[in-house]
Structure 1
Amino acid sequence: MTIAITGATGQLGRLAIAATKARGAAPIALVRSPEKATDLGVEARAFDYDKADPAALKGVETLVLISANEVGKRFPQHKAVIEAAKAAGVQRIIYTSLLKGDASTMKLAAEHIETEAALKASGLAYTILRNGWYTENLTGTLAPAIEHGAIIGAAGEGRYSAAARQDYAEAIAVTATGAGHENKVYELAGDTAFTGADLAAEVAKQAGKPVAYVNLPEADYAKALEGFGLHPGFAAILADSDAQTAKGALFDDSKTLSGLIGRPTTPLAVTVKAALA
């Protein structure tokens, strides 16, 4: 079976390539700039979400469509990839969606919902991986948090059922290389949920300095994110994601992810340690 993975030089894509190789497959890396993929040790083909060329998908049976990262442009890009896959004779698409999919209240979910609908209408077999939050989303900027003694957010006491990117990458590899995943939808999340306060406590413990979680109103958090240099539209989406987390949008206790990858998901402490290293 020939597997190809889009966005293969991205953070999730690189891990998915490695995890798929570890399962004995030789995936094709689909990237905008093949010269940036030489270190992946696999065949790399030029592929652009904006100009999805069916020729780049020749011979591919299973296509892993890692969701694009330009919020607002994602659905047209994903639709173009689905159409290219159909034209090229791809048999199945694995898509990285968002936890709870069409039941999610997050603004971030809209383009994922549209993509899921397009996939189901395409006539192709599909596997939808509804990924929860990556723990790295929350540990990517710990240095200033430690410096100022505060992690800010708008999630209140809402719980993140987050998992490490590596965990989600292994789910891609399992469903790409294994049988029986056709036309399945998986809700993927970490085994042990935590709050912003739990995160702050873990960071404080490992850093050896006081760090508290400071909860802000959604609008204030969005303004703070803008102050850090984020585009106002994206800042609003991230603030909304936190506000919806307060209402349970990123909580899931099904343990589907650990069941799929055959091991417990990566604990919060391990991801914090890696971020502080």
Structure 2
Amino acid sequence: MASFLNAAQKQGICVEYSESFSRTHPRNRIQRVADVIRRSTAMVVVAFVASGDMKILFEELYREPSPPRQWIGSESWVTHPDLLSFTFCLGAMGFGIPRSVIPGLRDFLLDLFPTKVAASTVLTEFWEDAFNCRLEKSAATDRNVCNGSEDIQKLQVPYTDTSQLRITNMVYKAVYAIAHAIHNAVCQETNSTTQCDKLTRIDSKQIFTQLKKVNFSQNGYHVSFDPNGDPVAKYELVNWQKSS
């Protein structure tokens, strides 16, 4: 926010107010921020806020919507599907990490069956919440025992929706970047052959040095870093529109 205020001032943009809040604040603090937005003459609201905090603010504004405002959002909330229900924000704009489909991920996530699930505490909790039943060895007592008819292939929850992955794809590329760095640290190319010493011991500094030099494409995206260690900035422009 401080960086934005500095840039806005240089561009001659008038900033009427600057407010901060957190979901852990008492409701009267959230109400005060909502009232500032309602009373303001500024037609544009720029919000650098996490989706969980933004939902609380939107819920407060929903009680008594402000006059029409043009909302500009950060990645965290402007790409969050749950917030699309707040219709007074239609037309909101923001920048989002590009979406991507990761090959094989959906099949990997859906390759679950009761015995595999029961071996993991995390998967057990997920399975029982998703199907509202309990596995036989579970400590839960408020649900009926799962009867085997549960089909994760038919489940419609965020876990099974791999069509709009953004941050997940960043992690995917990061893992590949480290893999390339390790490969370059232990392998040497001579003429047309590559020889790798898989038993060699390498430390984190060697990996970091090689990480700066990686240059590859994965899943349709190019990955490399500039002298500052930053990748090429690439974003989607997101605009909330209600349509069929």
TM-score calculated relative to the size of structure 2: 0.36
Higher relative contact order (CA 8 A, sep 6+): 1
Larger radius of gyration: 2
The structure carrying a bigger helix percent of its residues is 1
